[in-house]
Amino acid sequence: MRVKNTLDEWIALHEQEFIQDITALVEIPSVSVKGGSTPCGEECFRALEKMLELGKNYGLETEMIGGRCGRISLGEAEREIGIWNHLDIVPAGEGWTYPPFACQRQGDFLIGRGTQDNKGPAVAVLYALRYLKEQGMPAKVRFSQILGCEEECGMEDAGWYVTQRRAPDWSFVADCGFPVCCGEKGICRIALRTEKIMERIKDISGGTAVNSVPAHAAAVLEHDGELVSIEAEGISGHAAFPEGTENAVKLLAEQLMTYPLGEKEYKMAEFLGKICTDGYGIGLGIACEDSLSGRLTCNCGLIRSREGAVILQLDIRYPVTFSGAQIIEKVRTAAVEGGFRITETEDDPPFYLEPGLSFIQILMEAYQEETKERKLPYVMGGGTYARRIPHAVAFGPGMSADMRELKLPAGHGGCHSADEAQSIANLQKAIRIYVQAIEKLNLWMTGETNK
């Protein structure tokens, strides 16, 4: 086993290089798009190429898989542990204090889109593999960092990957908070549409991604013979974690209702205000919770107008003991009352693994030995690749960080927010945890521990 001081010294020695590698990825605006010459768009392809280049430079085996996924591996054994990351990002959106694709350092923090979700974590995993490669760890199983580019838009790449390469024996996804996330809520996406109702309202829009709370919404309406522009600024964040956010669509609806609207327009605005008032589905009548995974969350993430109709997209994360069908029917009833109808639904069921599994316990040991904390495995509302692949959980690298030194506006700094920020010290601690986890799994997979 390694000497702890050796790893600490190695991390300190490579800090600037570590930051440069994260910066090289953050500078690529890798929003996943379809329809181009590459499966996920040119920018995602560039991000994959850059990540594989880094892996190759550090002496690891690399493979580009169909321009859609990549793999960086340590060891050549048949049995395999997968460590999953994604290189696609949500759109930058508006309201940034810092440039979203410059990866600026402020004190202990890197600021830029993808620093948290998920490029910074991807480089932390890479550096754990690099360290063990340089230290000459005899890899008795194959440790594969698997990189996707469609995580933020449906995660079809994970399912596709296991049709091209077999699924690893066990996997963890480095795309959540520590310690182990052993389950994820169901994710239900619902599209709603009115009939052609727009009379005085000429245009309405808001949000950049269905899984982000809209920070901005706007409308144009006719009032006293003139066109009036209305804008609303909210507080953005991830749809699965509504605490501290404020949906700009709700604020826009409140402004619209102060103007003389058509009857159906007013009904539509009233419905918007009702469903966006909280992030827990109370206004839609779908609020629920269980002891394993907590409260349902509901986000109206996108609003657009088209041919006189208003179109909404909802992101709903429901507890592991409930079903998507139950939620959809309740939304259908509430939508009709608000002048909407459901046009499309997508239900991704929840998953849950027992925390007592040996694989999970080994990851927990690595976390506990490094941090001295005794937190328990948990269930969350966020969705990761773990729900798409067998024998998988999510495992870090998120940890709490005090961002007050950055003096960011309210709602900034989160993973889907403006001025997304990542603590460098936390990523370095994650490297230490991942090194421990890989060492322990290397022994466990070959029966050299009592787990």
> Tokens at residue 252, please?
């826009």
SS (H, E, C) 361-399: HHHHHHHHHHHCCCCCCEEECCCCHHHCCCCEEEECEEC
Burial class of residue 95, CB neighbours in 10 A (0-12, 13-18, 19+): middle
pLDDT tens track for 98-150: 999 999 999 999 999 999 999 999 999 999 999 999 999 999 999 999 999 99
How much is the mean pLDDT over the chain?
Answer: 95
What is the rounded distance in angstroms from the CA atom of residue 58 to the CA atom of residue 52? 10
Cβ(184)–Cβ(384) below 8 Å? yes
The phi and psi torsions of 446 (rounded to 5 degrees) equal -110, 15
The pLDDT score that the predictor gives to residue 202 is: 96
- The dihedral built from the CA positions of residue 147, 149, 155 and 159, taken in this order, carries a sign that is negative
Q: How do the domains of the chain map onto residue ranges?
A: 4-185+352-444, 186-348
C-alpha 310/C-alpha 365 separation (Å) is: 51
**Bond before 409 cis per omega within 30 degrees:** no
Which region, left, alpha or beta, applies to residue 191 given φ > 0 means left and ψ of -120 to 50 means alpha?
A: beta
- pLDDT at position 120: 98
- Confidence (pLDDT) at 3: 53
SS (H, E, C) the chain: CCCHHHHHHHHHHCHHHHHHHHHHHHCCCCECCCCCCCCCCHHHHHHHHHHHHHHHHCCCEEEEECCCEEEEEECCCCCEEEEEEECCECCCCCCCCCCCCCCEEECCEEECCCCCCCHHHHHHHHHHHHHHHHHCCCCCCEEEEEEECCHHHCCHHHHHHHHHCCCCCEEEECCEECCEEEEECEEEEEEEEECCCCCCEEEEEECCCCCECCCEEEEEEEECCEEEEEEEECECCECCCCCCCECHHHHHHHHHCCCCCCHHHHHHHHHHHHHHCCCCCCCCCCCCEECCCEECEEEEEEEEEECCEEEEEEEEEECCCCCHHHHHHHHHHHHHHCCEEEEEEEEECCEECCCCCHHHHHHHHHHHHHHCCCCCCEEECCCCHHHCCCCEEEECEECCCCCHHHCCCCCCCCCCCCCCEEEHHHHHHHHHHHHHHHHHHHHHCCCCCCC
Q: Are the C-beta atoms of 72 and 52 separated by less than 8 Å?
A: yes
pLDDT of residue 450: 44
Determine the CATH number of domain 186-348: 3.30.70.360
Contact 227, 349 (CB under 8 A): no
The residues of the chain scoring below 50 in pLDDT are: 450-451
Q: At what angle do helices 4-13 and 119-135 cross, to 10 degrees?
A: 120
Q: Which fold has domain 4-185+352-444?
A: Aminopeptidase (3.40.630)
pTM for the structure as a whole: 0.83
What's the confidence (pLDDT) of residue 36? 85
